[in-house]
Amino acid sequence: MSPADAVSHLLAAPYVPGGRSWAGADCWGVVELWYRHVLGIELTDRSSRPPGPDSVQGWADEGQGWQPITAPEDHCLLLMRSGRLKAGHVGIVYQGRVLHSAKSHGCVHQPLSDRLIRASTTGYLRKL
């Protein structure tokens, strides 16, 4: 699937906790769908991990085949602050924008230059 097709499908998807389909996805669901359908890579399903300090931040700290990078690049993960969690939210970077899903607005494709995105960004990870 082309990246443009994936963006189009995902922008129609509402936020669904634990969602892993075009019909609805949470932030990690967006990542899984992107990697599976755009890049042909199966990722570890994280739907069984409860939200909290052991969620995205703990997983990012564990490594799990991801390498921290200093600048965004296409298909990398953008880690974002969520409440007290340094990396409690995640999105996919593509063409200077981040594709992510949140309870408040469903799936969106925002510019990396967006003030709220810049303020909440805590890092980037590239799949090894």
Q: What is the pLDDT of residues 73-87, one digit of tens each?
A: 999 999 988 776 666
Query: Which residues are within 8 A (CB) of 102 and not within 5 positions of it... i.e. 6 or more apart?
Result: 15, 27, 89, 108
Q: Measuring CA to CA, how many Å separate 82 from each of 1, 51, 79, 87? A: 30, 11, 9, 7
The pLDDT tens digits of the residues spanning 6-50 come to: 999 999 999 999 899 999 999 989 999 999 999 999 987 665 555
CATH homologous superfamily of domain 3-127?
Answer: endopeptidase domain like (from Nostoc punctiforme) (3.90.1720.10)
Q: In this predicted structure, what is the pLDDT of residue 84?
A: 66
Neighbours of 94 (CB within 10 A): 20
pLDDT greater at residue 66 or residue 45: 66
How high does pLDDT run on average in the chain? 85
Cα torsion angle, 97, 123, 92, 120, sign: negative
